[in-house]
Amino acid sequence: MKRTALLFSSVAAVTLSACSEPAPDDGAKTTEQVENKRETVVAPITAAESIDAGLAVGEQAPLAASLQTTGGETSLGKILENGPALIVFTRSVEWCPYCQTQLKSINAIVDDLKERGYNLYGLSYDSPDKQDRFSENQMLQYQMLSDQPSAVIDGFGLRDPQYTDGRAVGVPYASVFIINQKGEIIAKSVSGDFKKRPTNDQILALVDSI
């Protein structure tokens, strides 16, 4: 099997509308409402924005670390019993519009990944309840994994060190990791800029390059 890092291509940015408040009936708009009305654009990642962070290709993922779902406790080892996994590490389903946009976007490639033999998962430090509300509202066709203590995030070496205070403490770099059933990391992409992430085409190209 060929071990690989992310292949980059020139593709259009992923653009989806962020959640917004209704505009006042009289047409007057506050600054906050104008900001909320703007579209959240997730730009494609390039080689220059990819950083060498986290576990390396060929290393073993932390299979025993606990994760939570709405169905109860699980672990990466148990998840991999269902087949190889592609995990999208993201900051928050609750307050990060770039994460929300990405998580909605990747819903479109669930079947493409299954055809290639991979199950798709999203992972954040949000509670299972918050993830479940987001999943239901967006009709996600893949499972979200809750890592509230950031134990798995730390196990992968993905905690973003710039946050030492406030709600963002414990968030990961925006990352994609592909893991085989033995728990070996076989491909990855880690972004140094949370506003830039792999597009669906880039994710599929990464899978196809393995």
In the chain, where the domains are located: 50-208
Q: For the chain, what is the mean pLDDT? A: 84
Among 152, 146, 100, 153, which Cα is nearest to 127's?
146
* Residue 30, pLDDT above cutoff 70: no
Which comes out higher in pLDDT, residue 203 or 2? 203
In this structure, of 16-25, 42-51, 99-108, 155-164, the range with the lowest mean pLDDT score is: 16-25
Does the domain at 50-208 match CATH 3.40.1190.20? Answer given as no
The two tokens of residue 16 are: 């989806």
pLDDT of 176 above 50: yes
State mean pLDDT over 12-18: 35
pLDDT tens digits along 89-107? 999 999 999 999 999 999 9
Q: What's the full length of the chain, in residues? A: 210
The pLDDT value given to residue 47: 72
Q: Mean of the pLDDT values across residues 104-117?
A: 97
Cα first-last separation, the chain: 7
Instruction: Tell me: pLDDT of 80 over 60.
Output: yes
The average pLDDT across 142-161 equals: 97
Give CA–CA dist 144/151, Å, rounded. Answer: 16
Q: What is the mean pLDDT of residues 37-41?
A: 58
Q: What pTM value is reported for the model?
A: 0.81
Flag whether pLDDT at 32 surpasses 90. no
Q: What is the structure's pLDDT at 50?
A: 83
E strand or H helix at 176: strand 175-179
